Amino acid sequence: MKKILSLTFILSTLLSFSQTDKDLAEQSVDQNIIKSHIGFLASDELEGRDTPSRGLKVAAKYLESRFIEYGVQMAPGMESYFQPVAMKKVSPANTGTLILGNSEYKFQDDFFMLEGDNSNISGDFVFVNYGSDEDLEKTEIEGKIVVAICGDGESDSPQEWFGQSAEKRAKVSELGGLALVELYNSPQIPWNFLVRYFSGDQVVLDEGGEDEKTMTHLWMNRSGEDFNASGEKNASISISGSNIEKFNSQNIVGFVEGSDNKLKDEIIVYSAHYDHVGIGQADANGDSIYNGSRDNAVGTVTVLSAAQNFAKTPTKRSAMFVLFTGEEKGLLGSKAFVDNSPVDLSKIVYCFNSDNGGYNDTSKATIIGLTRTTAEEMIIEACEAFGLDAIEDPAPEQGLFDRSDNVRFAAKGIPAPTFSMGFTAFDDEITKYYHQAGDNPNTLDYVYLEKFFRSYVYACRMIGNAKKSPFWIKGDKYYEAGKELYK
C-alpha cells in the first residue's frame, strides 16, 4: 500500500511539473464558475453596488469569502482582507451669493461650489493670474479671497484643470488665504453641464481629520479677460444648504507569495473595481437597478480567477489581488490604495488591471495600453492561445487609459495596462449596456468569456514568471516616473 501511495504521489508531482502556464489557466477557468460569480455580483439583490450601499458591503464580504476559500492570504502588514477607505458624501449647497468689488454674482448662473461647506466669508480679494506657486508666493494673500484663472495657461483640458485646482487650493490654504475663486471658460465642457454635475451629491475621499474644515473653493463662469481685477477690492461669499456625511468603504486585498526565492520580492498587482452606480432612472422595461455585469463584475471575476489559480500554483513573483471600491465616484479606492499601500510601491513592478465598458467583437480582447509596456508580446501570446486577437485601444479619443484605476498606478510610475473585453469602437452595442439598467448577467456571452478569462489568467502567469519584470516603453508619458520609482 505504501509503495502504491508513493508511486501515486510521484506521478502526480511529475504531472504538475509538466503542466504549462497555459494548461494551468485552461484547467482552472470554468464557464459555470464564471457564470456563478457574475450572477451573484450583478444580481438585483445587490442593487447595483453603489458606493456606499448595502449591496456593496455584501459584494465585499462575498469577495473576501472567495479569497479565504481559495487559500489566498492577507497582504503583508495587513490584519484583514479589507483595507478601509475613508469617504464622505457631500450634498452640495443650494443657495449662495458671491460679491467681488461692485459686482454681485448669482449662484449656479455665475458660480458653484467645487469644495467646501456652508460659510460666510468677507474680506478683500486679490487676483493672481493662473495661481501658480510663483504667482501665489509673490502676492500677499493671507486673510484674503484669492481669484485665479482655471488651469495653468498651457493645458486646455478641463479634466487637467480639476487636478490643478486641488493643488492651488492646497497652496492657498498653506499661505493663509480665506477662499479660492477660479474663473472657468472652456467650450470643451459647457458651464451648464458642470452645474448639473456638481448639483448632485458627490462621494469623495475623506482626507481630513475629525475637525477638518475644507477651504471654500468656487468656480465662476468668467474668463480672465472678462474679469475686472481693478477698482473695489472688497469681497464676500455666503454659502448654505450643504451637508457632509462621513463613512468607510473598503478595498479587498489578497496576497500569494511567489515561489522563487529572489523574484518573490517583486509583486504584481492584479486589480479591478467591484463597485457600480446603484439604482437610477427606470428604463423602458421599468428596470431601475444598474447591475453592472460588464462594468465591472466581469473584471472583478477575472481577478478572482487569477487568485484561485495562483493560490493553487504560485508564480515566481508574488501576486497581490486588489479589488477597488469607489471607482465610479472618481477612482477613489485605487487612489486610497496607492497613497496607503501595505507594501512599498517600488516593490510593485506591474499592475494588470481589468475593467470593462462592454464588447462588440468576440474574436478580440482589447488591452488599453497594450503597446505601452514590454509585456505586449506576452499578452498577445496569451490571447492567441485561446483564439483571441489582442488589440490596442481603438478609441483613444475617449481617454480610457486615464479613466480607470490603472492610471493611479501609472502616475506613480508603475506600468499598468487594462485588460478589457473586445471592442473596436464606442458604438451602439457598447452604449446599449454601458451604465444602463439592461446590463444584466443573462445578456453576456459566456462561451466568449471563458476564452477571455483564460487569456487573462495565462497572461498573468506569464508576467508573474517572466525572467525580467515588464516596464514602460521608452518615451511613454510615465516612463520617467517609472525610472524614478525603481531607481
Topology given in CATH for the domain delimited by 21-87+247-486: Aminopeptidase (3.40.630)
The label of the residue with cell 475629525 reads: 210
| pLDDT value for 284 | 92
Nearest by Cα to 435 from 251, 324, 281: 281
Nearest by Cα to 456 from 420, 428, 410: 420
Q: Write the DSSP string, 343-404.
A: S-GGGEEEEEEE--S--S-TTEEEEETGGGBTTHHHHHHHHHHTT-EEEE-S-GGG-GGGGS
Topology given in CATH for the domain delimited by 93-241: Glucose Oxidase; domain 1 (3.50.30)
| pLDDT value for 210 | 52
For residue 220, give the C-alpha cell. Answer: 465662476
Structural contact between residues 388 and 382, judged by C-beta atoms closer than 8 angstroms: no
Structural contact between residues 357 and 295, judged by C-beta atoms closer than 8 angstroms: yes
- In angstroms, how far is CA 365 from the centroid of its own chain? 20
| pLDDT value for 469 | 97
| pLDDT value for 117 | 85
| pLDDT value for 9 | 54
Task: Count how many Cα atoms sit within 13 Å of the Cα of residue 97 in the half-sphere of its side chain.
Answer: 9
Does 342 sit behind a cis peptide bond, omega within 30 degrees of 0 on the bond before it? no
What is the torsion angle, in degrees rounded to the nearest 10, for the CA atoms of residue 371, residue 372, residue 375 and residue 377?
20
Please list the residue range(s) of the chain that carry CATH number 3.50.30.30: 93-241
Residues of the chain with pLDDT under 50: 1-3, 211
Nearest by Cα to 442 from 44, 60, 56: 44
Would strands 234-240 and 364-368 be described as parallel, antiparallel, or unpaired?
unpaired
Cα-based distances in Å from 306 to 64, 212, 331: 15, 40, 22
Cα-based distances in Å from 368 to 327, 353, 440: 17, 10, 24
Cα-based distances in Å from 317 to 267, 281, 338: 6, 45, 20
Structural contact between residues 145 and 175, judged by C-beta atoms closer than 8 angstroms: no
Amino acid at 190: P
Other beta carbons less than 10 A from residue 361's beta carbon? 18
Please list the residue range(s) of the chain that carry CATH number 3.40.630.10: 21-87+247-486
For residue 447, give the C-alpha cell. Answer: 462561451
For residue 449, give the C-alpha cell. Answer: 468569456
Structural contact between residues 270 and 416, judged by C-beta atoms closer than 8 angstroms: no
Q: How does pLDDT run across 339-387, given as a tens digit for each residue?
A: 999 999 999 999 999 999 999 999 999 999 999 999 999 999 999 999 9
Q: How does pLDDT run across 409-434, given as a tens digit for each residue?
A: 999 999 999 999 999 998 999 999 99
Would strands 389-392 and 364-368 be described as parallel, antiparallel, or unpaired?
parallel
Nearest by Cα to 262 from 458, 468, 16: 468
Torsion over CA: 68, 319, 32, 361 (sign): positive
Q: Which residues face 352 on adjacent strands? A: 270
DSSP 8-state code for residue 93? P
Does 251 sit behind a cis peptide bond, omega within 30 degrees of 0 on the bond before it? no
